[in-house]
């Protein structure tokens, strides 16, 4: 896709300005580009599917929506082999500790995509006492894919946005996302208490 086809170019442009402001060595910059290109085009997702969004994710592997064309082909069943956590469906507080454990078992750098309105804001369960009202309250989320459930094309768009984000990161010097889960949960104490 060309740059104009994406709708969130302001965010990416801001990242580029921040990276260019500090300057980069030519050799290190070229190695960064090579490593990030290879990482962005070989994402191995771990699908954590609990409801209807997981069914839509299954369509991505079918012949009509062949995800091998985009570099997401190798879906993993173990968090130790995956670098993308694709959360599809409703997350309850009882399930949240399991999801957080899977996230902690993934190797760095790791990324999270929240799929569907249940993950973004609670969806039809908004205000429910047992449903997490947004995945970003318990895990650091990189990309949100709206919809109830989102179509496979929307999932591809969100995954390609993540690829664009990975290609802009620095592999050397600025190790990607070393934000620890404890620090993240310290910013959201109300969610930590609800999971006890």
29 — pLDDT class (breaks 50, 70, 90): low
Cis amide linkage into residue 9, ω under 30° from 0: no
What would the CATH number be for the domain defined by 7-194? 3.40.50.12280
Instruction: Quote the mean pLDDT of the chain.
Output: 77
For residues 130 and 6, which has the higher predicted lDDT (pLDDT)?
A: 130
Residue 176 has pLDDT above 50, yes or no: no
Residue 71 has pLDDT above 70, yes or no: yes
DSSP H/E element including 19: helix 9-22
Ordered by start, the domain boundaries in the chain are: 7-194
For residues 1-23, one letter each, b for 16 or more C-beta atoms within 10 angstroms of the residue's C-beta and e for the rest, the string is eeeeeeeeeeebeeeeeebeeee
Structure confidence by residue, pLDDT tens digits, 177-193: 555 566 666 776 665 56
How high is the pLDDT of residue 25?
Answer: 57
CA distances from 17 to 20, 116, 169 (A): 5, 31, 12
Structure confidence by residue, pLDDT tens digits, 84-110: 888 988 888 888 888 888 898 888 888
Q: Which of 5-19, 144-158, 173-187 has the lowest mean pLDDT?
A: 173-187
């Amino acid at each position: 896709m060309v740059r104009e086809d994406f709708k969130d170019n302001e965010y990416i442009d801001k990242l580029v300005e921040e990276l260019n402001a500090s300057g980069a060595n030519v050799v290190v910059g070229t190695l960064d580009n090579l490593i990030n290109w290879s990482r962005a085009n070989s994402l191995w997702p771990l699908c954590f599917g609990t409801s209807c969004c997981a069914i839509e994710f299954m369509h991505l592997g079918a012949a009509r929506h062949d995800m091998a064309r985009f570099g997401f082909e190798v879906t993993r069943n173990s968090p130790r082999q995956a670098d993308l956590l694709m959360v599809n469906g409703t997350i309850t507080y009882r399930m949240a500790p399991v999801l957080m454990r899977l996230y902690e078992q993934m190797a760095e750098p790791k990324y999270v995509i929240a799929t569907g309105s249940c993950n973004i804001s609670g969806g039809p369960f908004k205000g429910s006492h047992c449903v997490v009202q947004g995945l970003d309250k318990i895990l650091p989320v990189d990309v949100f894919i709206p919809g109830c459930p989102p179509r496979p094309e929307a999932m591809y768009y969100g995954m390609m946005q993540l690829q664009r984000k990975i290609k802009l990161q620095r592999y050397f010097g600025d190790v990607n996302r070393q934000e620890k889960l404890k620090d993240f949960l310290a910013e959201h104490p109300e969610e930590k208490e609800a999971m006890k």
